[in-house]
């Protein structure tokens, strides 16, 4: 299967991507072959379009795709490095948006931008909920172990069972701290994405009148 191919066409102008544009094609890592982007990208490109549910699974779990193993449980997303081809696909020739014939006064590129931001916001919200649930579970486990280990404070000599319990307490504390950091990171990313969306809706006249279903 080929490696990921970075899109080379700007969503706003239908011309080459530009560092001066803020559309998702110009600012994000997006594969033109599988359609995945950013956290939904696998290590290698599967060579076929990947739907939203599968991209979300890639983002939230250890699911990955590589040329040698196919779909499998691999590295966490934070340690994954999607491989892109060295060259970009040539940009598609500019073409008229068929929606312009229905509503020529609407800047459909801006509407698409708002839709993409809402899609990204939904992904951030799901990631935050999952991280928050995991943090709650780790917190409860840590509290239970703390209560179980409380009597050890008055003991001067610890046996093997006591030492095992203290080791478990330390592990649970580390798991709790990592889960809490992850939840806070996801919450911050959610807030930032929400601000980006609100700024786009307030700053782009076309998005103020975008359909409510977006």
28-87 tens-digit pLDDT: 888 989 999 888 899 999 999 998 889 888 988 889 999 888 999 987 777 888 988 865
pLDDT at residue 90 in the model: 56
* 95 within some domain: no
Q: What is the mean pLDDT of each run of 10 residues along the chain (214 residues)?
A: 83 79 82 89 92 87 90 81 72 66 75 80 90 94 93 88 92 93 92 86 52 38
* 99 within some domain: no
Which structural domain range is residue 154 located in? 108-208
89, 94, 95: which is closest to 33 by C-alpha? 89
- Number of domains present in the structure of the chain: 2
* 70 within some domain: yes
* 100 within some domain: no
Q: Are residues 4 and 68 in the same domain?
A: yes
Q: Are residues 17 and 79 in the same domain?
A: yes
Q: Are residues 124 and 79 in the same domain?
A: no
Last residue of a domain, one of 51, 85, 119: 85
Q: Are residues 26 and 75 in the same domain?
A: yes
Please state, for a pLDDT cut of 90, what percent of the chain lies above it. 34
Ramachandran class of 149: left when φ > 0, alpha when ψ lies in -120 to 50, beta otherwise = alpha
Q: What share of the chain is helix, strand, coil (3-state, %, to 5)?
A: 55, 5, 35
* 46 within some domain: yes
Q: Are residues 121 and 161 in the same domain?
A: yes
- What DSSP assignment string belongs to 151-198? GGGG-SS--HHHHHHHHHHHHHHHHHHHHHHHHHHHHHHHHHHHHHHH
Q: Are residues 71 and 125 in the same domain?
A: no
* 128 within some domain: yes
* 140 within some domain: yes
Contact between 191 and 121 under an 8 Å Cβ cutoff? The reply is no
């Amino acid at each position: 299967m080929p490696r990921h191919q970075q899109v080379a066409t700007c969503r706003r102008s239908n011309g080459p991507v530009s560092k001066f544009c803020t559309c998702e094609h110009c600012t994000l890592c997006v594969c033109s072959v599988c359609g995945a982007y950013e956290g939904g990208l696998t290590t290698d490109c599967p060579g076929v379009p990947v739907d939203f549910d599968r991209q979300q699974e890639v983002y939230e779990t250890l699911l990955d795709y590589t040329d040698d193993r196919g779909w499998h449980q691999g590295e966490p997303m934070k340690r994954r490095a999607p491989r892109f081809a060295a060259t970009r696909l040539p940009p598609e020739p500019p073409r008229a948006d068929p929606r312009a014939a229905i509503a020529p006064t609407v800047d459909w590129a801006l509407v698409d931008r708002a839709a993409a931001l809402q899609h990204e916001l939904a992904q951030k919200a799901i990631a935050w909920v999952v991280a928050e649930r995991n943090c709650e579970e780790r917190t409860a486990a840590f509290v239970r172990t703390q209560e179980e280990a409380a009597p050890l404070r008055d003991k001067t000599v610890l046996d093997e069972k006591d030492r095992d319990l203290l080791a478990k307490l330390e592990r649970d504390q580390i798991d709790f701290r990592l889960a809490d950091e992850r939840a806070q990171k996801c919450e911050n990313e959610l807030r930032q994405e929400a601000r980006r969306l609100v700024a786009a809706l307030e700053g782009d006249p076309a998005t103020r009148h975008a359909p409510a279903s977006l």
